[in-house]
Every structure is written in structure tokens, then in C-alpha cells.
A and B are shown apart, each in its own frame.
Chain A
């Protein structure tokens, strides 16, 4: 059974008089351990699809099942609980909480789960170690470079051991060298920890690290 399953999903927005349909009857299956990259020109619905899988947006029609849960019918509160337990989200612009240290940022998702302080500490330390930032735990986001911030963002996304990690252009705001480091890190997460990753990118090279490449155009997948 697929870990992520989208069936006949439609999503449209109104922009003034115009109706934009970034996703038109989309069907997709992602299996456990897959590393899927999603490419396509701007405005073709890549981020919309990612947000639907992440449960922070709702489709107009169709169904989305992730990790065995049909998420389209969940309330906002239930979706939050579901995200806390099943989903890791890597943002393009890191979106770290500026008043918290790297350690505290990574710890945030674990505070939402029923865990002891010792279990939390262990997970946070492991996550920081996985991204190679154990020595930056006490640093605030403003004291970190862009690449380090993104690595903290990745540690935050994986700390709760989610079933699915979604990444919205994770290298979009980084220079080439840092971008390569992040790509390697994502590959390692997939290969060594077996994490299922759905990544949106418009960079062909970045998309190349995925085990499965999809392209969206005008609301539909192009044949691979």
C-alpha cells in the first residue's frame, strides 16, 4: 500500500475574475522509502501539491491519504496532531523561530509528542548530529549561516521521526556549495534512515538526487 496516495485531487484559486487551477484531477502514489522530486515551471502547482500532502491546505475535491489516514476530512486541530506525529516540513526560507536557539528550534516538534525530557533530549541531539550541527546547538538563527539554518530546519523536520518529509525548494535560497551539502544530507536521510521524501524544486540538478522524478505542467503530471 502506498504511503502517500492522492486520488483525483483538484485545487483551484480565484484571482479576481480569473480562476486558476494549479491541480486538475491529479492522482499520485508515493511508497515508503521513495525520494520523489517534483519539478515544473512556476505556478504549475508544485507547492500546492506539497501543501496538500502536508495537510496545511485542502483540495476542492478528491482524496489524500497519508500514512493510512485520509486527511482531507480532518479538522484543523486533528490535522495539527497528525502533522506533529507523521510529517516533517522543510521550508525554502528555513523559517526558524528567531527567539529560540538551534537546539530549541529542533526540540519544538518533540514538545508536541508524549515524550519524557530525556527522550526529547536524546532525539534532538541525534537530529543535530545527523545534520552535523551538534556544536551549534546554543546558537540563535541570526548567528548561523544560511546553510546552517537550513540544516537546523532539516533537523527540526526529522526530529520526531516522521513518516513523510516534505521539502519546498530546500536549496532555493542557498549558494551552490551549500546547496550541494543540503542535497547530500537529504540523500543520506533517504538512504540511511529510510525516510520518505517529497521535494519540490525547479532545479534539474537538485531533482537529480531523487529516486523518482515527476514533472507537473498545467495542473497535470507529464509522462516520465
Chain B
């Protein structure tokens, strides 16, 4: 009977194509919204977000306005619970929310190599370590800007030579450009010698992040610049607070897409069943059980929805994976990279919606009085 359902769908090509396309578009948007939410979730949770602290200048929110003495790093390193301190100079082309934000992180090169979760996919560490204006750039930004090893990349007052392109398991890393700390501190037009934007503090396994954060702020209170220290996840959520609200609201858009698919497939299936109510009556006259009739209708709606949903989800995933899209603000970026789980969720949602959409018409097809339906022309 599976063949019957397939043939029915193929016979009504226009209806099938329109429904599948509608489901695909809606699930494309669902997947897109889902990947943005996943990006935010990754940025604000997980071990890195919880076990790392960011020390920032007190009452400052934009990277360009935070200036901490670089020698805060050794002072923090001495505190109990601190494993390592990484001074970071941040430069961004746009402090406001942007879809094409460029963020430079200047960090001592050895620390980049040893501590950042990145792997060079082309270029070499040697080239990065030996050349002052060398930079390694994340895969996403390389895709967006069309950059490869050996290219010169200039933005604003900064001009770097691409020494390599890196990939990372942490999608937001792939939106960064790493240079040496000194390069970013001394580049033309910057007056930041001896200062850094923020300090990233890595903790020992037994340290309490909140206690260490308080201790850092307390210790540095007597210094020239007061600090605010937070977990990295909380820091990034705070930095992106405007976007967090928007993204939080966008999840309703995801639900709306699911509702759209549901109503679209339900409408198509209802119309299809009403058009073919006599056919279902004939099948039942031949001996097809009512429950089997229901299954035929549900299989039809589920196939329509799943094919469209999977198509939309896969297209969205491929576009997001290859496009390297990201949104950022004030030096923090959210990468739109869908996870395999999101693809599975998209498929499962499509399948479930297909089943639900087919329920009412399936009951109608299975319970309609056979004699009455046979008279239907």
C-alpha cells in the first residue's frame, strides 16, 4: 500500500510540490532560528562559559572603552584557583549589532596556540609566530571575506597578512581573527601600549568561579582601574543582552513556522481526502480496514511534511555551514552553525507535524459512511 501512497503523491504533482515547498521554506526558517538559538546557547553555557572568567573594566561595556593594565595578569595569576591568565586586546569594526562584524583578538601567540580550541586548516604556525603583522583567521570570516593564506587583509587602520585559516569545534571562534597581542597594542592609530581590553582567566578544576571572580575584583580594587569579573558565559550574555532578547523572541518565529507547516499540510490533506473520499470508500469496500485507511492518509501527510521538512532543514544547514553567518555586537559573536541535533530535531518535528496534520482527515476517511461516500461524485 506504500506504493499506492507514493503514486498518489506523484500523480498530484502540483499539489505535492507546493506542499513540499511550503513545508521546506517553513522548516528552513525553523532551522535558521534554531541555529541562532543554538549559537547563543553555546556561547552562554558549557564548560568554557562556566569555567572561564572575563575581567573587564568596571562600568564599561564596549571593548574600545575597557582598558586594563597588562600587569594585572601576573597579579591575578598569583591568586588561588587561577590556572592561567590570558591578556586579550580586542578590536572590532562595529560595536553595534552587525551581521558582518570583524573582531580581532590580540593574544600572546604561544597562548593562542596552547589554549584556544582551534586547528589550522591551512597556513602555518611558524608564519604566524615569526611575522609581526601576521594573523590567523577563523574559517567563517575567511569564507565571508574570501580570504586565504598569504592574503593581505585591511580594515580601518589595521592591516594584517593572513598566515593561516583555522577551524574550531566552538563555532564562535571561527568568527575571530587572532593576532599577536603586541601587534594590536602598537598598531597605527591605537594608543593602547601596556593595556589590554580584558583578561581571560582559566581556573583550576577545584576552584569556585564566583568566589575567584570576587577575589579578583577585591584584589584589583586598589589598582589604577577597578574591574568587574564574571563567568565568560555571563559576560557574553551581558555583552549581547540586546541580541539575547531578540533571539529569545525569535523562538516564537520557530513555533510559528511549525504552526505554518501544520496548517499547510493539514489543509492539503483535508482537501485531498475530500477529493478522494470515494476512493477511500472503494478501498474499504474491497476490504481495507478503517485503521489501515487512516494509516494511508497519515502516511501521505507525513511523507509530504517529512520530505519538505528534511529538504528545508538540509538546505538551511548547508547554507549556514557554508555561509559562515554570524551576528555580533561589542566584540562577541554568535555563530549560526546548526548542529546535527538540530537537523534531527527538524526531521522529527516535520515527521510529528505530518502525523498530527493527517489525523483529522484520516479519521474522516476511515469513518465516513461507505455507501454515502460511494455516491459522492
Residues of A within 8 A of B (CB): 51, 54, 56-57, 76-77, 80-85, 87, 89, 91, 95, 97-100, 104, 108-109, 111-112, 156, 160
Contacts and interface: CB of A to CB of B under 8 A. Distances in A.
Contact of A57 (B3, B282, B290, B371): B371
Given A56-B371, A56-B374, A76-B290, 8 more contacts: A57-B369, A77-B289, A83-B287, A85-B287, A95-B282, A97-B279, A99-B4, A104-B3
Contacts of A83: 285-287
Determine which residue in B279, B284, B289 has the highest number of CB atoms from chain A within 10 A of its CB, and name it.
B289
Nearest to B9: A99
B289 A81 contact: yes
A156 B287 CA distance: 12
Given A97-B282, A98-B11, A99-B4, A81 B371 contact: no
B78 interface: no
Contacts, number: 64
Contact of A109 (B11, B286, B291): B286
Interface string B356-377: 0000000000000111001000
B273 to A, nearest CB: 15
Contact of B1 (A87, A98, A111): A111
Contacts of B291: 77
Given A99-B7, A99-B11, A109 B371 contact: no
Determine chain B's interface SS by DSSP, over half rule: helix
B318 interface: no
Nearest to B286: A109
A80 B290 contact: yes
A99 to B, nearest CB: 4
A56 B370 contact: yes
Nearest to A85: B287
Determine chain A's interface SS by DSSP, over half rule: helix
Contacts of A89: 285-286
Ranked nearest first, the 3 interchain pairs of A and B with the lowest CB-CB distance are: A84-B287, A99-B7, A56-B370
B148 interface: no
B8 interface: yes
Contact of B278 (A81, A95, A112): A95
Contacts of B11: 98-99
Interface of B: 1, 3-4, 7-8, 10-11, 278-279, 282-291, 369-371, 374
Contacts of B371: 51, 56-57
A85 B291 CA distance: 17
A150 B279 CA distance: 16
Contact of A80 (B7, B289, B374): B289
A104 B290 CA distance: 21
Contact of B7 (A54, A57, A100, A160): A100
B286 A84 contact: yes
Given A57-B371, A77-B291, A112 B286 contact: yes
A112 B11 CA distance: 23
Contacts of B8: 99
A91 B282 contact: yes
A54 B1 CA distance: 23
A177 to B, nearest CB: 26
Nearest to A51: B371
A57 B284 CA distance: 12
A97 B291 CA distance: 19
A203 to B, nearest CB: 20
B92 to A, nearest CB: 59
A161 B77 CA distance: 90
A54 B285 contact: yes
A214 B362 CA distance: 40
B4 A81 contact: no
A100 B279 CA distance: 12
A51 B370 CA distance: 9
Contacts of A51: 370-371
B262 to A, nearest CB: 26
Contact of B4 (A56, A82, A87, A97): A97
B282 to A, nearest CB: 5
Contact of A81 (B7, B279, B283, B287): B287
